Structure 1
């Protein structure tokens, strides 16, 4: 675009269908309503003769006076104005394509552009363009500024007409139309005034295609947003501490990197001295608070309230939808999820269209889902309550979740798309809204799905939310409440948090005994679950008597071959196995298998499972001749009954591979492990706990084959994934860390190996307790690493401590106790050997390390 110049001979040009202009005898100018205004000849002469001083304009000050980032956008805006036509309109692009959201920095960018290039223009004039009346008033202000002697006696319409005439006579100006509500309001001015630049800012995303080219303005990037917030909150001379920078990063993310919100927050923090952390806690309450020069009418909450008022005039249903979406996850909200609030597709489209027009939502590429800015959600959640005192939109959001909750065996993609929204609703449950067992059912169903996927850490918040709802509606001892509490305990157990799991199981057992009686099947189930938690925590002294009691009661109440009796007998056998009493364990496992064969038939899942468990017991007892054929038979039957890639089949294939590995047959073990890993990745996903188990054991097979180049990277991958998926102190993560330490130790990298072993021991002590078997094994293995590094002064006391604790916890004849005693003896003999070598320096010292054994080798039989 070039600056317009009047045709030779002088006089303003009139362009556009509804534009009229005259030269010296008066002027007729059309505005938004095509009103004709006649100006006196003297006013027309002044319009031609009055010159604007250099750099003239009426630019406002920014709220903060700080401008950061946006250099690319500034250059793009300049390119659009100088290369493409006569006008450019800035619109706002929120994160993930939320276009034109109020507060994103439209006006700030336009103001920066005007200041940067004001010397390139004959005049820069800023106009509040919220309505046609304000546009006229803004133009009238130009005449008052340039020709006060005449403007003082003229009306608003005459002054606006004079301003248009002046702009026609003096090309090369910039008009900034700020906050345009209706793009059509500009059409007549663009036609009347072709000889300068027009720059408009607007929250409206639609209706610009016939008016002017547009530019989408994105959110501030993270670093720029944090820089702006820190500058405003602490002052430009202050260098934030790392802690302040970290808090600012978190607050900037909460504010969605929205420019006006950052300015508003920075001004408040600077003026009040409030900490960033406290501001985050108050976020929903302070979005309508002006401080430090912030215009009270330009706070985020006030701007968006104006948007809602305008939207409501177009579609009341749109406001209802936005209130409901405030409680969902901000991204990827399916249109189909919203349908229950707008069953008519036409009505739904109109409602979403109204929200989109004001940039309160953004569509995905296929327009089948939409996004809402996080701060919009925060502000909407803090709107006044309805007539019943309930938070607006909350019950609608719960209704949407209940309606969308899948039933039965569902395509996982349905759950995956719904899960973020279920979790968002569960995490934001307000105390003032009524509890609902229906939404609790949805939380439980979602948690069950996550548990089936091995994502128990994600399931825990949902089970907690469900339990809270059941407790409020039914009370503490209702059957549904007790079931919900049991599910939460189980999730904690699967996630490795045995302390919380045990506490919940203890509460549930006491309540079921009180409500249902000591021998009710649910009470027996609670007793068994508590015993298994004790067992997993290594507290066999409490676990075994409970399991023995549970088995006796099941036999008496349910019968000798009832499924729950068989499960109880199997659990007791597992306790004997963990205690090292393989004789009693194997006898019970054999009994269970025989009874399953009699009760269920040859291919029933419970019978196949009991065959698998007996095989693992034979394997642990060193009887691979009996273990391997059982696993081979079980695998064939699982493949026949469930198919080659069913999780049960994969588990059995995995365990058979471990049996081959234990027998030293790596040629058969390694391909099976590789196949199982590939199938688990395909069926369960790359980070499912069973997939991690396969990857870990394949790495062990590579390691045993002497291929550390393939083993170590696999161990490192497993550890990273365990930390991300299961958490830093989950038992499986500790196993993985231990396995990587072994690999470093085998590679001779004792520095990294010892550091990892020390970390594992510290975490075991903190999470599992000082005498839990896994802690004792970690203590033994760290002692072995110290010994291999030649640090016997640190190794022997650790062996001594571990042995004393093994004696106390597992007994004098437990295999682990025997291993630890042997390791201590060999370490002491190594000291004696060293002393002799000092006395007889030419005597060769034998190596003992290869005859010492680690405890709790991290092979995962899943």
Structure 2
């Protein structure tokens, strides 16, 4: 595009700013040194983001409406094909769905004549190459939509969802709705209803009919609910069998469509409605008949108690997981939901259950901290339509780590596989032993039918009947055809070598000998393949993404292996040779390589110390190569989830490589954002200790890690330990880089947070003010560091009760943030949320409520409902609703907010306790005094436990609780509580802090309830004087105190004074809050006003 402004970087940035104004959450675009490359990146990003093309057209029209380049861009956009406008990955994602549905059509058709042009994928691809129509839905989307319409709802959902997502991406949602609602009942449309849109719909339906889907409609009524056609008995053994088996298990997701002419009616067996992460069935599975029957009998036994798991126990290599896989595939039609959960590491369990929660639609968030409790609760209480569920916890070694994730009720089943015999104490256990001799010989002869029974017996004897070793020997025979005598001779030689070296406790000598034979052969035919295995031996025995290997430019390991990693052909050959000798399994569909832990142990035992160090470093380098460097972005989380077990096992935390160290640090951040706070703290602690050793305590990277460690300690409630680390970081920064360094100033704001947490409001304010002033002086008022310091100062001002100053500062910070950072960035939205708190506490209840309703909706649009930022905005809105008089709306939202905070952070988290305090107030306003008393007392106890007796939030909770006590007929107890609270407030914050003023106002009501009219009057006179100094004349708290004073005067028979003050106060209430506000109505009836205290965020 020949645009007049593309050469200037500033103009290209302006183009991006204009685009961002029209798009929510538009991603960053990397700036290119070459102008045209930069423009291409902008255009490609617009194409891949919902609303991007429209925003690009609008931006071009704004900047250069008469430019030839703008007109050319319009023409290019209008002539674009669907293939050009949606990512390749999206097209690839729908192909298996089309294949799966076509396979089921064929099965359902039985003997009917199938059309010859049934290659749905090929036709779909052809349609994606057609230009988009001027009106209506693109033909390719209409094509997929029609296929979805032919299937029952359970099967059509993935296809319909895909169409919905692409329509949203292309801004065609309205066109899709018109397409779906076009035909009236009976297929008739009123005369004269044809429009360009309806003509395109008719054209699309003609395209569908031309492609054979009319035949699909004929059989849709007899649709067989199946995705997998299972008939393995007549298939030959070996790799071809495996490939066909794999295709069937995944609903034919391979590259080739099945031949329609050869598709004969076969036995159809349905998968569960929800089927996740289950490994493919092993076509060479042999024996275990008694074990499978015993397991089925245990699962079939009716139990009235809570879910009692079954477990398969045995040593490594006996095939526990294989038995579980075979059982699942054998009985899959008996369950609604089957989910496979790798359970060796807690992070793997969190990942699997989070994915299940998404699949069930229980939680919009991909964060484990909220999704995992939701799925566990749903399964325990039968809150899903899949009551008959089956969960497998594979390789579950730690009882304490795994058992908390078990559903406690419902009608499901749990199966555990483990090497840990302790599971026998809490489950019904079946022991998985080595093969019986007949099973060993049967397995060997199934793979190599020409093998004599006597020779099979000799091999089994030499291998100790260990299934994993027997499988490896069988693969060797298939790959090499070596005579049994020669193979046994090699085994014996290797056994003698190993005995001379000493045996490993992890495996039998005969097993190691079998693998060493194959490893020697692999080294002979492909040395790079052996080195790849050696690197992988330091990973966890979990799937390893092929992406870690492919084209690893920064992974320098050995010259031979580096060359293979850079060459896709050589890498493919290495993986094939590894599979050939059954040394690891490669899943072509998932693109992952997986090794058994016993093979890894044998590999490590063969290495010298120097070689081991090289290969371990290689594993670290490959892991770092897989880091996408976006730990906070949900789309990156699956990658970090997959890498986490390998990071842990490989010892990458101790690597001295800066790239590896950055990767490890990113993993710390990911665990926090993902919601595994305990895992985050554990890893952050290890990383911090390692960095202190290898980089030094005052190193910049070490200090960054230390601050993250302190933050997660704070989140988990370890406030003193967090404060110690932050204080030490500040000392180190000041002594090394100086007081004006950005890192030092960041540490100052963190120490200020610790001071607020400890209740020292004055010291916190002094430190935050110094940090802000120093940032403004050193970096300027518009620098992001200064804006961050300003936000923290605004929070601290509110904590100190300086709401008007906080409002002025927050307003200025928000204005600058919008200009510098953008309107919907994280920091800008945080400031906006805090701004409405200041607006509310400064007395503008109605204005704050109106603004916060809009802010809350913006947060939802930007983040989605389950993000913690949305929950914080919801808490603010709940308070704003109550202050504006919407008590029912406040109660509903504060109840939900407390639930969300509690589920995510626990009951002792500061925001959770604040939300509980808010809900107690809302219960009181809703006349549920017993509920308010109970929750208020519980929350006060937590505040005392977490923050201590004298913290401002504890004192606020005590003052709020005293109101309920008085309203429930205990004025003496309320007076004693408020008097004690006010005394502590005088000693800590001072009597003119808003919390103290509110407490004093309520204390006046306590005196009035005790019948002490004169003392109540004197207290209210003093409080009103303080209100007018601290608050505005029309602040609702000032009006509340004025109303109470008027009532005091009436009780003292000073009627004229009472009437005058009451009339003036009532008039102000009407002007400030409106005539229908509950506070105004109470004032009209001369009902004393109580003042609430909502804790400011720390």
The answer to whether structure 1 residue 759 and structure 2 residue 914 are counterparts is no
Q: SS at 2:950's partner residue?
A: coil
The answer to whether structure 1 residue 399 and structure 2 residue 621 are counterparts is yes
Aligned mate of 2:1092, from 851, 854, 857: 854
Q: Conserved in 1, the CA contact under 8 Å of 2:923 and 2:932?
A: yes
Q: SS at 1:851's partner residue?
A: coil
Q: Conserved in 1, the CA contact under 8 Å of 2:924 and 2:932?
A: yes
Q: Conserved in 2, the CA contact under 8 Å of 1:97 and 1:363?
A: no
1:753 & 1:180 partners in 2: Cα distance?
A: 59
Residue matched to 1:581: none
Residue matched to 1:98: 279
User: Would the alpha carbon gap of residues 797 and 647 (structure 1) be closer, same or farther in structure 2, given more than 3 Å must change?
Assistant: same
1:450 & 1:647 partners in 2: Cα distance?
A: 19
Q: Conserved in 1, the CA contact under 8 Å of 2:318 and 2:466?
A: no
Aligned mate of 1:810, from 965, 985, 989: 989
1:802 & 1:382 partners in 2: Cα distance?
A: 69
- What CA deviation, in whole Å up to 9, does each residue of 1:636-659 have, x standing for no partner? 554444433223432344345445
For residues 73-472 of structure 1, the aligned pairs below 5 Å read 96-100=277-281, 107-108=288-289, 112=293, 250=403, 261=417, 265=420, 297=464, 309=515, 317=529, 320=532, 324=536, 327=539, 330=542, 334-339=545-550, 340=552, 342-349=565-572, 363=587, 367-370=589-592, 386-388=607-609, 395-406=617-628, 412=633, 415-421=636-642, 423-425=644-646, 427-428=648-649, 430=651, 437-447=658-668, 459-472=680-693
Aligned mate of 2:780, from 590, 594, 600: 600
Aligned mate of 1:730, from 906, 909, 924: 909
Q: Conserved in 2, the CA contact under 8 Å of 1:737 and 1:760?
A: yes
The answer to whether structure 1 residue 498 and structure 2 residue 719 are counterparts is yes
Q: SS at 2:907's partner residue?
A: coil
2:285 & 2:975 partners in 1: Cα distance?
A: 65
2:965 & 2:735 partners in 1: Cα distance?
A: 52
TM-score computed with the length of structure 1 as normaliser = 0.54
User: Would the alpha carbon gap of residues 252 and 699 (structure 1) be closer, same or farther in structure 2, given more than 3 Å must change?
Assistant: closer
Shift in Å at residue 605 of structure 1?
Answer: 4.7
Q: Conserved in 2, the CA contact under 8 Å of 1:788 and 1:849?
A: no
User: Would the alpha carbon gap of residues 685 and 322 (structure 1) be closer, same or farther in structure 2, given more than 3 Å must change?
Assistant: farther
Residue matched to 1:700: 879
Larger RCO: 1 or 2 (CA < 8 Å, sep 6+):
1
Residue matched to 1:820: 999
1:220 & 1:497 partners in 2: Cα distance?
A: 47
Q: SS at 1:99's partner residue?
A: coil
Q: SS at 2:609's partner residue?
A: coil
For residues 576-655 of structure 1, the aligned pairs below 5 Å read 600=780, 605=784, 635=814, 637-655=816-834
Aligned mate of 1:533, from 754, 770, 775: 754
2:587 & 2:978 partners in 1: Cα distance?
A: 63
Q: Which has the larger radius of gyration?
A: 1
Q: SS at 1:465's partner residue?
A: helix
1:738 & 1:246 partners in 2: Cα distance?
A: 37
1:359 & 1:100 partners in 2: Cα distance?
A: 19
User: Would the alpha carbon gap of residues 604 and 338 (structure 1) be closer, same or farther in structure 2, given more than 3 Å must change?
Assistant: same
Q: Conserved in 1, the CA contact under 8 Å of 2:631 and 2:673?
A: no
How many corresponding residue pairs?
Answer: 604
Shift in Å at residue 686 of structure 1?
Answer: 3.5
Shift in Å at residue 733 of structure 1?
Answer: 1.7
Aligned mate of 1:721, from 884, 893, 900: 900
Q: SS at 1:676's partner residue?
A: helix
Q: Conserved in 2, the CA contact under 8 Å of 1:99 and 1:359?
A: no
Shift in Å at residue 470 of structure 1?
Answer: 0.8
RMSD, aligned α-carbons = 6.2
Residue matched to 1:65: none
1:740 & 1:699 partners in 2: Cα distance?
A: 9
2:977 & 2:602 partners in 1: Cα distance?
A: 57
Shift in Å at residue 535 of structure 1?
Answer: 3.1
Q: Conserved in 2, the CA contact under 8 Å of 1:456 and 1:491?
A: yes
Shift in Å at residue 740 of structure 1?
Answer: 2.1
Q: SS at 1:98's partner residue?
A: coil
Q: Conserved in 2, the CA contact under 8 Å of 1:440 and 1:465?
A: no
- What CA deviation, in whole Å up to 9, does each residue of 1:340-373 have, x standing for no partner? 4744334544566666997976758xx3554869
Shift in Å at residue 505 of structure 1?
Answer: 2.5
> Please, which runs of 5 or more residues in structure 2 have no aligned partner?
1-225, 250-274, 298-316, 342-397, 408-412, 441-462, 476-513, 553-560, 1016-1049, 1053-1081
TM-score computed with the length of structure 2 as normaliser = 0.44
User: Would the alpha carbon gap of residues 457 and 86 (structure 1) be closer, same or farther in structure 2, given more than 3 Å must change?
Assistant: closer
1:761 & 1:767 partners in 2: Cα distance?
A: 10
1:449 & 1:362 partners in 2: Cα distance?
A: 27
- What CA deviation, in whole Å up to 9, does each residue of 1:562-609 have, x standing for no partner? xx67247xxxxxxxxxxxxxxxxxxxxxxx7xx69xx737x5556766
The answer to whether structure 1 residue 743 and structure 2 residue 922 are counterparts is yes
Residue matched to 2:105: none
> Please, which runs of 5 or more residues in structure 1 have no aligned partner?
1-75, 117-178, 182-200, 207-213, 227-244, 281-285, 552-563, 569-591, 837-842
Q: SS at 2:969's partner residue?
A: coil
User: Would the alpha carbon gap of residues 499 and 384 (structure 1) be closer, same or farther in structure 2, given more than 3 Å must change?
Assistant: same
Q: Conserved in 2, the CA contact under 8 Å of 1:323 and 1:394?
A: yes
2:617 & 2:904 partners in 1: Cα distance?
A: 32
User: Would the alpha carbon gap of residues 381 and 348 (structure 1) be closer, same or farther in structure 2, given more than 3 Å must change?
Assistant: same
Shift in Å at residue 492 of structure 1?
Answer: 3.3
Aligned mate of 1:488, from 679, 687, 709: 709
Shift in Å at residue 215 of structure 1?
Answer: 5.8
2:571 & 2:957 partners in 1: Cα distance?
A: 60
User: Would the alpha carbon gap of residues 679 and 542 (structure 1) be closer, same or farther in structure 2, given more than 3 Å must change?
Assistant: closer
User: Would the alpha carbon gap of residues 337 and 811 (structure 1) be closer, same or farther in structure 2, given more than 3 Å must change?
Assistant: same
Q: SS at 1:853's partner residue?
A: coil
Residue matched to 1:30: none
User: Would the alpha carbon gap of residues 731 and 394 (structure 1) be closer, same or farther in structure 2, given more than 3 Å must change?
Assistant: farther
Aligned mate of 2:858, from 679, 683, 700: 679
User: Would the alpha carbon gap of residues 384 and 853 (structure 1) be closer, same or farther in structure 2, given more than 3 Å must change?
Assistant: same
Q: Conserved in 2, the CA contact under 8 Å of 1:534 and 1:543?
A: yes
Q: Conserved in 1, the CA contact under 8 Å of 2:653 and 2:686?
A: no
Residue matched to 1:131: none
1:693 & 1:518 partners in 2: Cα distance?
A: 33
2:670 & 2:803 partners in 1: Cα distance?
A: 37
